[in-house]
Structure 1
């Protein structure tokens, strides 16, 4: 048993390092030091719920759900297809989004504002027309609002199901209010501040949402053809299955995804708990450097992409 301990520690460190590098990218260590080590006021204090949610391994499932849900808005999906490079450079996009969420959640107020300004500058350049000739503009406040509410609904739902420390009711409302700070800075008008407002806003978008060919193609890419080494495909498939299981039934129908509640309760959900626990274990491994603990979120945790029009 004693001889197994170093092997287990080495495995944990290697898995954590691989996850970190995939999500944070080659500049991960430098970003980690800058985000956590720069002195100055932050948008969110250490006790805020946004830090709890964005620092948990459940973000891996929440991020995948967010991408699938966001794709159901034809204008958001057109912006992704035409400008995001999610097929040609999916890991780069993941790393940019992870860094954005990290900086705005944990970084100084100055760095957070600079990150928001960069995203807004990208949005200003993202314009075009859909396959049916409908114009889109990534700076459109209504489109920004959809991306935001689909994202935070997904992150919060994943955290409440798979997070290490699920929030109570007031904590959920406080998380939504925290994220409204970033949303308003990005140009979202009157972002929701609690669960009731979030649910009402999501329902208001329902008539606009549909599974376009582009959305279904993106879902196949995300779920079935991710650019991963063979050893990572099975764990990823479990995360993806859990993301699908958290979508509402109408959204699955629009994307052509199955609805199998008994199988999901018996097999999929337990696998989600196991996978997030394994990620949490790996990314909490001690690092060989004295850097602060995370490149993106929480103790060596990082977050998946969920801002389609942000580049």
Structure 2
């Protein structure tokens, strides 16, 4: 068995943070945030089949993140290389200028990286995960490895909470809610149910039943967890009361997830790639 613990390892803040299931909410928050960048959302809308296969795309994205966090160094590098080769072939048109651009532009890659890392971290903290200020900055610094995998110059990536706040302040004038952004946000809030998911009655139940209402509540929480400036771009309010309500909702969701998962067999609640990482870490300590 390989004893390579991957890019991070058991002593990292990354492993500590990503063991918590509330990070799924952080992933959804990051997508709402990313949709506010006109070029970034155009790149997705013009190159992705997320409308036809939303759950497949979500699964592929989750598998990539899981591989970078929990996989061996070789597995993480191979996964990143596949994504970079795919992105290198793709182009999109800027909806404001008509300019044709590469979707792997450094500025776009940096935006996606920062919003994802910040969303994971912010969501976890507001849901009640306890990290010290040093661990918060440590997480940002550790994630430079993930940025570098995607071809981003690590010297251009924020490495602390303060640097991330400065990054958002500087990029805010470039952000706007475009038609593609509205469509993406609506789809994230009310995703379609694939045709191959059982009978029409079953799909209708997912569309209108308790599962739909539960997901809508999760999506509303993800939106409410956005920074006030992002909520204002979506036409919402930046009131502190919204932040308080979002925090309570995120904490409740984390408690619910922890309670439900505690009743599930370990083989079903711990992803195989994470289980393998823990086994390699144990072997490395032996």
Shorter-chain TM-score category?
0.7 to 0.9
Query: Does the 8 Å contact 1:99/1:295 carry over to 2?
Result: no
Write out aligned runs for 1:299-310 (5 A): none
Write out aligned runs for 1:50-65 (5 A): 50-65=14-29
Q: Distance in 2 between matches of 1:187 and 1:110?
A: 16
Counterpart for residue 211 of structure 2: 232
Aligned structure 1 segments of 4 or more residues deviating by more than 6 angstroms: none
Q: Displacement, 1:268?
A: 4.4
Counterpart for residue 64 of structure 2: 100
**Structure 2 gaps, min length 5:** 194-202, 276-286
**Structure 1 gaps, min length 5:** 1-36, 299-311
Q: Displacement, 1:59?
A: 1.1
Q: Distance in 2 between matches of 1:205 and 1:262?
A: 26
Q: Which of these residues, 199, 203, 221, is aligned with residue 242 of structure 1?
A: 221
Q: Displacement, 1:257?
A: 3.4
Q: Distance in 2 between matches of 1:297 and 1:239?
A: 25
Is 1:272 the counterpart of 2:250? The answer is yes
Q: 1:259 to 1:278 in 2, by over 3 A?
A: same
Write out aligned runs for 1:46-85 (5 A): 46-85=10-49
Q: Which of these residues, 185, 193, 200, is aligned with residue 166 of structure 2?
A: 200
Q: 1:108 to 1:223 in 2, by over 3 A?
A: same
Higher relative contact order at CA 8 Å, sep ≥6: structure 1 or structure 2?
1
Query: Does the 8 Å contact 1:57/1:277 carry over to 2?
Result: no
236-245 or 66-75, larger mean C-alpha shift = 236-245
Write out aligned runs for 1:134-173 (5 A): 134-163=99-128, 165-173=129-137
Q: Displacement, 1:292?
A: 9.2
Normalized against structure 2, the TM-score is what? 0.82
Normalized against structure 1, the TM-score is what? 0.76
Query: Does the 8 Å contact 2:47/2:92 carry over to 1?
Result: no
The 3-state SS of whatever aligns with 1:65 is helix
